[in-house]
Amino acid sequence: MNSLRTYEQKRRFDQTPEPKPEKKHGESRRRFVVQKHRARNLHYDFRLEADGVLKSWAVPKGLSPNPKVKRLAMAVEDHPLDYADFEGVIPEGQYGGGTVMVWDRGTYEPENGEQIGALIKKGELKVKLKGKKLKGSWVLVRTGDRNWLLIKHRDRHASEDELTETSPRSVLTQRTLAEIASQEGGNVEKAASGDPRSLSRRKKAMRRS
């Protein structure tokens, strides 16, 4: 079964800059990426490299380093490994149309078994993230068909800091969503609505000066 079939069916690759579906075999580098995506709604896409693809969840409010906070994560279609480097603008009218940022990335270590696909089917996956922003142990627990909870474990990396507000820029280019949209032909006003208000106010003040 081609796990990228759904990804392919949803996209028109002559009109979107997203990478074409390609399942890659070989030793997994166990990368993870979190992409901030201002489409119809703002959300964060959490992706783990496994079985030649990126296993993916949409997290509406983003990952929280606070163990007291349980974040909803919706399982979505597998993405190709090359998607881990995608930052730019998906044209309006295309699936997921809007601005995409590589908000964080790094590697991960599984903590409750080596077979990631099997653990996902079982409904519980524990991983240690080694990113630029996100670090330490996390657990994904399925609560329904596509519904999961994403929770930070209590460790030295646990914090009440809201990273989506305090660290809003791309780890690839240090750009905000609005800057990505501006430089790559996207809807700047729509993208800016996904940036923290402090950044939006700062941009408006600069334009007035």
- The answer, yes or no, to whether residue 135 has pLDDT greater than 70, is yes
Tokens 């330490």, residue located: 136
What integer pLDDT is reported at residue 208 of this predicted model?
A: 47
More confident residue, 16 or 203: 16
- The answer, yes or no, to whether residue 2 has pLDDT greater than 90, is no
pLDDT band at 27 (very low <50, low <70, confident <90, very high): low
Provide the whole-model pTM.
0.92
Predicted confidence (pLDDT) per residue in 34-81, tens digit: 999 999 999 999 999 999 999 999 999 999 999 999 999 999 999 999
Phi, psi of 69 (to 5 degrees): -100, 125
Q: From residue 201, how far is each of 2, 162, 192, 194 by CA, in Å?
A: 46, 19, 10, 13
* Joined tokens for residue 36: 């901030």
Helix (H) or strand (E) holding 50: strand 42-50
Residues contacting 153, CB < 8 A, separation 6+: 67, 126, 136, 137, 138, 139
What integer pLDDT is reported at residue 199 of this predicted model?
A: 64
- Rg for the chain, CA atoms, rounded: 17
Distance between CA 147 and CA 65 in Å, rounded? 20
Percent of the chain with pLDDT over 70: 92
